[in-house]
Amino acid sequence: MQSIEAAISLLVLLSISASVMPLLEEQCDIDDSLYRVQLAEDAWRVLYLRGDFRDFGEDKRGTIEADMAEITRQTGLCVFMDGVQFTSCRGNMGTGAAQGHEITVSLSRTAIFNGTPRSFAFALGN
């Protein structure tokens, strides 16, 4: 009887240890939410500085998507302009530019597109 009790105690002790130890080994991730927003702001600002939003419209798709592709090449992050359907990661394009991709940060932006103010989401993702 005492052996059974001892065995049960040992099992309980081992199971507690086994459940607690993996929790301790888990690394706490750094909170980079602010940094991600800054990175999205950077991408927008870079496109702006390169004059991509001057006469912004369908005609500039090639130029803008080339710059977006350069950002993707350097960072590994896809750039999306949902609403105007510009993206550097064409793939599962559906109703939205980011269809099928995981968005890590999204900013709301308004710009004159083909002569008309247009609001859209400017996003970075994988």
Partner 1 sequence: MTAQIRSRRAGRGVLSLDAMFSLVPILVMLLLVMEIEAVSVKQSEDASHRQQVFDKLVSAADYTVKSGAVVREGGIRYPNWVNEKNITNSYTDSLRERVGVNSLYMGFGEPSDSSQICIYRLVVVGQEKAIKRLFVCGG
Binding site for partner 1 (CB under 8 A): 6, 9-10, 13, 16-17, 20, 24, 27-28, 30-32, 34-35, 38-39, 42-43, 45-46, 49-50, 67, 70-71, 74-75
Which three-class secondary structure state does DSSP give residue 113? strand
- Residue among 34 and 59 whose Cβ is closer to partner 1: 34
Say how far apart CA 93 and CA 97 lie, in whole Å. 6
Q: Minimum Å distance from CB 78 to partner 1? A: 14
Comparing CB distances to partner 1, the nearer of 23 and 95 is 23
**Tokens at residue 61, please?**
């798709």
The least CB distance from residue 82 to partner 1, in Å, is 20
Indicate the helix (H) or strand (E) that contains 87: strand 86-87
Tell whether the torsion through CA atoms of 67, 72, 75 and 81 is positive or negative: positive
